[in-house]
């Protein structure tokens, strides 16, 4: 990125331990600040340079780094501490149309990158927000990319566990009529999450991590009463949650955790008189700091080309019905 504003400064006194504490493992704290503010940070020892498009944001970044350097003398900084300082100072990027920095996710299958603008924005949002919504039709990569980010966070020890959640049965999680024990009843509804994990980590590793409870896959009802710290939590098929279930899920989030909620508002299977918790969340949380929304369209579908055409055809019919009423 070529910045239009640049500030050079020195953090005194020079102290290698404080600098390492400020920068984080492999400069992860500096990268976290870059992603959140849309700036670039370079340093040689205790001499720093911050570059960006907005002069005010660059100045804020310098002030933040100076403050963190002072704290680094008496406190061990971590990802959560950096995020708290950013939120406390109400620091965000200056403009919403700022081009997102590319997020490359390293997993077993190689490196995953966003295909197209919306996927790139989605990955960037997950990297820089605590609660994230990915909303759109099937095949747009909502769940796959969220799982990729979760696996990378686990591999890099940013979180201690992954919790993958779905409404077990579309209209209210009524499992009693299904044959088998709980696992046999729930597994068919969670299969897409298993498939994504197998592709990211390999079957054997997934089985081991499940046995150790490092990865937990559960129906939404089992989240009630819990607080999830240092976890990456994904709620899939969220269009089939009630308002109460969505509120319950979002309030499970603890310190050091990230949540991603995915769903398709055109595929709601709840009773007609029951409002989707996902639709309600879009209305209630749209302007809440720390919460991001990425809306995918049929053009973002990355499956077989005919899938995008099928989605578009249904969208056109739904738009026509909204104007004239169903035939």
Instruction: Kindly state the percentage of the chain with pLDDT values over 90.
Output: 37
- For 132-161, what is each residue's pLDDT tens digit? 999 988 888 898 899 989 998 898 888 999
Indicate the domain borders of the chain.
Answer: 5-88, 105-296
What is the Cα–Cα distance from 113 to 115, expressed in whole angstroms?
Answer: 6
Residue 207 exposure: Cα atoms within 13 Å on the Cβ side: 3
The structure's pTM equals: 0.65
Fold agreement between 5-88 and 105-296: no
User: Would you place residue 185 in the very low, low, confident or very high pLDDT band (cuts 50, 70, 90)?
Assistant: low
- 3-state percent helix, strand, coil for the chain, nearest multiple of 5: 45, 20, 35
- The dihedral formed by the CA atoms of 262, 268, 271 and 272, expressed in degrees to the nearest 10: 120
**105-296 — its CATH code?**
3.40.50.300
**5-88 — its CATH code?**
3.30.1370.10
- For 35-91, what is each residue's pLDDT tens digit? 778 888 999 999 999 998 888 889 999 999 999 999 999 999 987 778 778 766 655
User: Would you place residue 234 in the very low, low, confident or very high pLDDT band (cuts 50, 70, 90)?
Assistant: very high
- For 248-267, what is each residue's pLDDT tens digit? 999 999 888 999 999 998 88
């Amino acid at each position: 990125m070529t910045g239009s504003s640049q500030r050079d400064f020195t953090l005194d006194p020079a102290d290698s331990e404080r600098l390492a504490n400020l920068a984080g493992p492999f400069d992860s704290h500096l990268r976290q600040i870059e992603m959140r503010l849309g700036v670039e940070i370079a340093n040689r020892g205790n001499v720093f340079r911050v570059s960006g498009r907005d002069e005010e944001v660059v100045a804020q970044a310098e002030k933040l780094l100076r403050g963190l350097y002072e704290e680094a003398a008496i406190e061990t900084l971590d990802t959560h501490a950096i995020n708290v300082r950013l939120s406390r100072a109400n620091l965000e990027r200056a403009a919403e149309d700022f081009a997102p920095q590319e997020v490359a996710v390293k997993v077993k299958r190689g490196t995953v990158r966003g295909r197209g603008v919306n996927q790139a924005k989605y990955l960037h949002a997950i990297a820089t927000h605590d609660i994230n919504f990915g909303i759109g039709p099937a095949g747009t990569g909502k769940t796959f990319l969220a799982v990729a980010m979760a696996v990378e966070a686990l591999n890099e020890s940013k979180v201690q566990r992954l919790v993958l959640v779905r409404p077990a049965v579309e209209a209210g999680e009524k499992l009693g009529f299904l044959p088998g024990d709980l696992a046999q009843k729930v597994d068919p509804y969670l299969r897409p999450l298993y498939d994504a994990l197998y592709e990211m980590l390999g079957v054997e590793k997934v089985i081991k991590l499940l046995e150790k409870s490092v990865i937990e896959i559960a129906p939404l009802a089992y989240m009630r009463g819990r607080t999830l710290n240092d976890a990456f939590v994904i709620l899939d098929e969220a269009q089939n949650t009630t308002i109460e279930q969505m509120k319950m899920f979002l309030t499970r989030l603890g310190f050091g955790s990230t949540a991603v909620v995915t769903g398709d508002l055109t595929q709601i299977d709840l009773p007609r008189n029951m409002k989707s918790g996902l639709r309600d969340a879009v209305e209630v949380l749209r302007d809440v700091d720390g919460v991001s929304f990425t809306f995918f369209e049929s053009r973002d579908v990355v499956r077989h080309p005919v899938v995008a055409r099928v989605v578009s055809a249904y969208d056109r019919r739904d738009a026509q019905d909204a104007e004239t009423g169903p035939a």
